[in-house]
A and B are shown apart, each in its own frame.
Chain A
């Protein structure tokens, strides 16, 4: 009834081509920037983090619906589930970042630190940082694989206990992720601007990647549908995904404004330095970030109809996906490379990692039925509608 996805050679070859092109461009970019290793490592971090975080956010998407006893999401659940399996692969990029630590994190130069950084060195030191990085990757990998295992089990037998167990795992997942999503954002991103701090930062980064994860779910849904899969996904599902994209884009903007407004308002140099740097050196991109990630999805998806039309939806999703890549770029680059740089290095690296991400997704998506048919609320997903 639900057409199983086949990871065909054709798809494979497209993706491999993408990976290769990406790799070639990336290598070329690296070669051009050998005297500018900051930029290389910053790009590794950018893409490594962005897609890993998206994978974790996709897992979170599933988990939160499981805990919320939702039914509608079962129609698309397997997409984010397969996305989440990228975590161990993304982890490899993050481990790679450890090698380039000195080029990104200036606190890692333990020999000459000012007073404030010395004060932080109990937390920000290469050893502890590496330990945390490894721990996040391991922990997250275990969590996503554990849940996936239980999810797949339900395909073979209908057992309510299994479903309860899934909820148990989801509980563990959400607690651990609630803590590590923030701390990982502080570690990997916030500590680039080592003096700067913002309590909201962890949540801000999380919401940014979460919106992006929703956008990718929509994009992948579109891709799969255009290949003739996932035909059971109807307008109501699109509408709901659209609402997610719409709502969380607003929520992201809310957090962006909250952080910016408070820092703008108090105007304390230890905080404003973050924005001053971004506005002065990245001026156009700084404002573009808000326009792309807030105004675009807001205006596109405000109407009911656009959320239910795949074309509109996909347009918004692509904008949002690229927009949040920019958001991460704005979070990482000013602290590490100081001035905006964009070239084949950035393109290559992104295409390469995206290729790997997609390859991993399709591979994993092909390994299981496209829907969890034994999910107890599965049928609910096909008999509901959104109020007009």
Chain B
């Protein structure tokens, strides 16, 4: 496959195939550092606090949250949507970028997919916890029962159950299928022992046979073809949670594509935030380079701008509609009691990513890190604005009210960070953070200097 020499190399330094194996395997060897232990401890503490908060919620009731008769969803669902959104980058990168033959995906898809899975796990917690009767949560599954009650297939929340679980399943399958050859690589680097046995088991008996590779590629492509609309469908269905209602600020047809775009936007931001730290922490700077940064930042501008256009579209159409409720909802967003949330959202999501039009900024790790955090914050506020400011003042002014979270809600949110980072720390320790085989497959054309071994 020919690659134009004009293109910037994706991988820097002098690399041979074995060097790639060595580099990526390195963080999994030796004793983990203080940073790793420290981070894991912090994450576990946060997780513990989250579990305690969940216990309080279930034991005492949702009354421990700041919700009320008018505002039925607050931080819980905000966090749900936020985490689901973050869980869109991985599959987007590995599926849609695969379909678009973007080679730069190879260095980041593994960890991004891992983040996707962990984020979706965090997200999936919220619809469960936010139920008033968690122990009866199994009612949402259509299982045969003596009362002959099935479920309501009209409910977007039910669609969510299917979408999120399918998404999680397919993401895990996709991720793991990609991991098999690399686990094989790890297996073959290990001295015989229990660890080797475990990896051997996990590697599913991978041999590297050309036949397997052919099937693997074929499967990956079709899985990508399936995962691409799946990614779209997940956040689309999440957007349906709101858009199918009649609540002004929720019911708007642009939600499906705009939510998807926002999800990819926030997902990329989270991947960037973490990868910028991780590449430093475990010495993968050669593999995650400015070229990757720039490509990702371009997607950030694109999706960020789509989101921005959607904001303005909503605002304009609200005025254009001539419907008093719609108009009020948007005036209230911008100038009502929650104006600050709206303007944080606007600033972080629409204005900051525009800085990436400057090449210097989009190639700067430091600047990207800062902006990616802005985007993470902005996208959280987007969901908060949509959920809370739409609900708190809807049709009947008699029922208008205000919302602020309690420590329990904050605690659960912190807990999901704990869960996410616990899993992430374990992941970077026990699995190759970069897809070894995939990097090797593009190494010749994409590295700064390829060292050819052999005759």
Question: Are the CB atoms of A116 and B253 closer together than 8 Å?
Answer: no
Tell me if A319 counts as interface (CB < 8 A to partner B): no
Asked if A380 contacts B2 (CB within 8 A), the reply is yes
Among residues of B, the one whose C-beta sits closest to the C-beta of A260 is: B253
A255-B217 in contact (CB<8A): no
B305 at the binding interface (Cβ < 8 Å): yes
A119-B322, A120-B322 given; A380·B257 CB < 8 A: no
Q: Are A197 and B317 in contact (CB under 8 A)?
A: yes
Closest to A124 in B: B320
Residues from chain B with Cβ under 8 Å of A203 in the complex: 254, 257
Q: Which residues of B contact A68 (CB under 8 A)?
A: 100
Query: By the criterion CB–CB under 8 Å, are B253 and A259 in contact?
Result: yes
Say which residue of B2, B314, B322, B357 sits within 8 Å of A199 (CB atoms). Answer: B314
Query: Is A379 in the interface zone, CB < 8 Å from B?
Result: yes
Interface segment, one of A11-19, A217-225, A265-273, A323-331: A265-273
B177 at the interface (CB under 8 A from A): no
Decide: B321 and A383 in contact? CB cutoff 8 A: no
Q: Is B287 an interface residue (CB 8 A)?
A: no
Task: Say whether B229 contacts A258, CB under 8 Å.
Answer: no
Contacting residues, chain A, for B196 (C-beta < 8 A): none
Q: By DSSP majority rule, is chain B's interface helix, strand, loop, or mixed?
A: helix
Interface segment, B31-39, B119-127, B239-247, B372-380? B239-247
| Chain A residues, Cβ within 8 Å of B214 | 388
B293 contacts chain A at the CB level, 8 A cutoff: no
Q: Evaluate contact between A175 and B305: CB separation under 8 angstroms.
A: yes
Cβ of B100: which chain A residues have Cβ within 8 Å of it?
Answer: 68
Give the CA-CA distance A259 to B239 in the complex, in Å: 12
B194 in the interface, Cβ–Cβ < 8 Å? no
Q: Are A262 and B7 in contact (CB under 8 A)?
A: no
Q: Which B residues, 299 to 332, have Cβ-Cβ distances below 8 Å to chain A?
A: 305-306, 309-310, 313-314, 317, 320-323
Note all chain B residues with C-beta closer than 8 A to A379: 2, 4
B232: CB under 8 A from chain A?
yes
B305 adjacent to A178 (CB under 8 Å): yes
If A123-B320, A384-B101, A388-B217 touch, whether A254 touches B4 (CB-CB below 8 Å) is no
| Cβ–Cβ < 8 Å partners of A48 in chain B | none
Q: How far is the CA of A197 from the CA of B251 in the complex (A)?
A: 12
B297: CB under 8 A from chain A? no
A226 to chain B, nearest CB (A): 29
Given contacts A197-B320, A262-B253, A377-B4, contact A387 B218 (CB under 8 A): yes
Q: Does A202 contact B (CB under 8 A)?
A: yes
Q: Say whether B253 contacts A263, CB under 8 Å.
A: yes
Judge if A382 is at the interface, Cβ distance under 8 Å.
yes
Across the interface, A384 reaches (CB within 8 A) one of B2, B244, B254, B298, namely B2
- Asked if A262 contacts B243 (CB within 8 A), the reply is yes
Contact for A254 among B3, B232, B310, CB less than 8 A: B232
Count of A interface residues, CB-CB < 8 Å: 50
Query: Contact partner of A380 among B4, B232, B252, B323, CB < 8 A?
Result: B4
Contact of A71 with B245 in the complex, beta carbons under 8 Å = no
Contact A265 B244 (CB under 8 A): yes
B4 touches A71 (CB 8 A): yes
User: Given A255-B257, A265-B244, do A178 and B309 touch, yes or no (CB 8 Å)?
Assistant: yes
On whether the beta carbons of B255 and A262 are closer than 8 Å, the reply is yes
Q: How far is the CA of A18 from the CA of B2 in the complex (A)?
A: 43
- Which residues does chain A contribute within 8 Å of B257, judged by CB atoms? 200, 203, 254-255, 258
Residue in A67, A69, A199 whose CB lies within 8 Å of B317: A199
Once bound together, how far apart are the Cα atoms of A69 and B257, in whole Å? 24
- Per a CB cutoff under 8 Å, which of A200, A250, A261, A266 touches B254? A200
CA separation between A266 and B309, bound complex, in Å? 24
| Contact assessment for B7 and A199 in the assembled complex, using a CB-CB cutoff below 8 Å | no
Q: Please pick, from B2, B6, B99, B313, the residue contacting A182 in the complex, using a CB distance under 8 A.
A: B313
* B218 contact from A243, A380, A388, Cβ within 8 A: A388
When chains A and B are docked, how far (Å) is the Cα of A385 from the Cα of B101? 10
User: For residue A264, which residue of chain B has the nearest CB?
Assistant: B244
Closest to A263 in B: B253
Given the interface contacts A119-B322, A200-B257, A266-B251, does A258 sit within 8 Å of B4 by beta carbon? Answer: no
Is A131's CB within 8 Å of the partner chain B? no
Nearest CB of B to A239, in Å: 12
What residues on A are CB-neighbors of B320 within 8 Å?
A: 120, 123, 186, 197
Find B7's partner among A117, A259, A377 (CB 8 Å cutoff).
Answer: A377
Give bound CA distance, A119 to B244, whole Å.
26
Within B205-247, the residues touching A (CB, 8 Å) are 214, 217-218, 220-221, 228-229, 232, 236, 240, 243-246
Question: Is B76 engaged at the interface, CB distance under 8 Å to the other chain?
Answer: no
A100 at the interface (CB under 8 A from B): no
Assembled-state Cα–Cα distance A93/B229 (Å)? 37
Known: A120-B322, A197-B320. A69 touches B251 (CB 8 A): no
CB distance from B349 to the nearest CB of A (A): 16
Say yes or no: is B1 at the interface (Cβ < 8 Å to chain A): yes
Chain A residue nearest in CB terms to B310:
A199
> What's the least CB distance linking A110 to chain B, in Å?
16
Is B353 interfacial (CB 8 A cutoff)? no
Are B221 and A199 in contact (CB-based, < 8 A)? no
Encode contact with A along B1-24: 1 for CB under 8 Å, 0 otherwise. Answer: 111101100000000000000000
* Contacting pair B357 A171 (CB below 8 A): yes
Chain A residues with CB below 8 A from B232, complex form: 254
Which residues of chain A are within 8 angstroms of B228 by Cβ–Cβ distance?
Answer: 247
Q: Which residue of A lies closest to B314 (CB)?
A: A199
* Most B-side CB within 10 Å, residue of A116, A195, A266: A266
B50 within 8 A of A: no
Return A181 CB to nearest CB of chain B, in Å.
Answer: 10
Question: A71-B4, A171-B357, A243-B99 are known contacts. Are A182 and B309 too (CB-CB below 8 A)?
Answer: yes
Q: How far is the CB of A195 from chain B (nearest CB, A)?
A: 8
Smallest CB separation, B243 vs chain A (Å): 5
CA distance A388 to B220 in the complex (A): 10
- Quick check: is A277 within 8 A (CB to CB) of the other chain? no
Closest B residue to A243 by beta carbon equals: B99
Quick one: closest B residue to A160, CB to CB? B6
CA A68 – CA B97 in complex, angstroms?
11
In the complex formed, the residue of A with least CB distance to B247 is A266
Q: Are B229 and A250 in contact (CB under 8 A)?
A: yes
Does B256 lie at the interface of the complex (its beta carbon under 8 Å from any beta carbon of A)? yes
- CA gap between A171 and B310 in the complex, in Å: 19
Complex contact B245–A266 (CB within 8 A): yes
Asked if B2 contacts A254 (CB within 8 A), the reply is: no
For the complex, give the distance between the alpha carbons of A178 and B306 in Å.
8
A-B contact pairs, 23 of them (CB 8 A): A160-B6, A195-B322, A197-B320, A199-B310, A199-B313, A200-B252, A203-B254, A203-B257, A243-B99, A247-B99, A250-B229, A258-B255, A259-B253, A261-B244, A262-B243, A266-B245, A266-B246, A270-B323, A379-B2, A383-B1, A383-B2, A385-B1, A387-B217
What 20 additional pairs, Cβ within 8 angstroms, besides A68-B100, A178-B309?
Answer: A71-B4, A72-B101, A197-B320, A197-B321, A198-B317, A199-B252, A200-B252, A250-B229, A258-B255, A262-B244, A263-B253, A266-B246, A377-B4, A377-B6, A380-B4, A384-B101, A387-B220, A388-B214, A388-B218, A388-B221
Binding site for A on B (CB under 8 A): 1-4, 6-7, 99-101, 154, 214, 217-218, 220-221, 228-229, 232, 236, 240, 243-246, 251-257, 298, 305-306, 309-310, 313-314, 317, 320-323, 357
Closest 5 CB pairs of A and B: A383-B2, A199-B254, A116-B322, A200-B253, A258-B256
